[in-house]
Amino acid sequence: MEEVLTHEIELYPPESFLVLMEHEVNKSLRYKHPLTLVHLAVEANPKSPQTQHSAEVFAINVLNIQLRETDIPCKKGSEFMVLMASTDEQGGRVVCERLEKLFNATQQTYDRVSFELSAFIGMTSVDGNSRFSSNTLAHQAAAALQHAQSNHSRKAVIFSQIPE
């Protein structure tokens, strides 16, 4: 029987995250507030279920420490999403830069497991003045993350800066 690793700390489940994101999108549209979505993935080297688990728990701890109480973090598979209400692109960049510094350290150790962590970060923001949907926001953040992963970028990729 295969051992299943669970996380000690839980974030919002994907289903709850989607409901909260829909609510925040509607609120942003109504009150013309900016909204930012960060999408990130972590990969551990050497690759093994134990090191990947340690990398994900490390990422969860970083998110729990670094995010505001009003931010909405979610874990889906080995990826994370963070919805930041009333946060414009500049504010999102600041958060991404802070996360880059923490994730891109050369060697990490969590629960006596040493690994090298690679974090790929994609981000998108909307200003609240234009029409958009939660699907649009999610697709833009996913595209930015995909761009970061395919280019092995150690810096966050901002959707608005991806060449068309």
CATH of the domain at 147: 3.30.70.270
Reduce the DSSP state of residue 12 to 3 states and report it: strand
Q: What is the pLDDT of residue 52?
A: 86
- The answer to whether position 58 is within a domain reads yes
- The answer to whether position 36 is within a domain reads yes
**Is the pLDDT confidence value at 102 over 50?**
yes
> What confidence tier does 103 reach under pLDDT thresholds 50, 70, 90?
confident
- The answer to whether position 39 is within a domain reads yes
**Is the pLDDT confidence value at 8 over 90?**
no
- The answer to whether position 4 is within a domain reads no
**Is the pLDDT confidence value at 117 over 90?**
no
Q: What is the pLDDT of residue 7?
A: 44
- The answer to whether position 9 is within a domain reads no
Give CA–CA dist 135/21, Å, rounded: 10
Q: How far is CA 23 from CA 27, 78, 85, 125, in A?
A: 6, 25, 10, 16
Least confident of 54-63, 112-121, 126-135: 112-121
pLDDT tens digits for range 47-86: 888 888 888 888 998 898 889 989 999 999 889 999 999 9
**Six token digits for residue 75:** 């874990």
- Residues 6+ positions from 121 with CB-CB distance below 8 Å: 38, 39, 40, 96, 99, 100, 103, 145, 148, 155, 156, 157
**Six token digits for residue 130:** 């234009």
Give CA–CA dist 162/145, Å, rounded: 11
- The answer to whether position 2 is within a domain reads no
The range of the structural domain enclosing residue 123 comes to 14-161
- The answer to whether position 140 is within a domain reads yes
Torsion, CA 56, CA 58, CA 59, CA 61, rounded to 10: 130
- The answer to whether position 40 is within a domain reads yes
Cα angle at 61 between 120 and 142, to 5 degrees? 30
Please compute Rg for the chain using Cα positions.
16
pLDDT tens digits for range 19-47: 999 999 999 999 999 999 999 999 888 88
Q: What is the pLDDT of residue 128?
A: 79
Specify the number of domains making up the chain.
1
Containing 63, the helix (H) or strand (E) segment is: helix 49-66
- Residues 6+ positions from 93 with CB-CB distance below 8 Å: 123, 156, 158
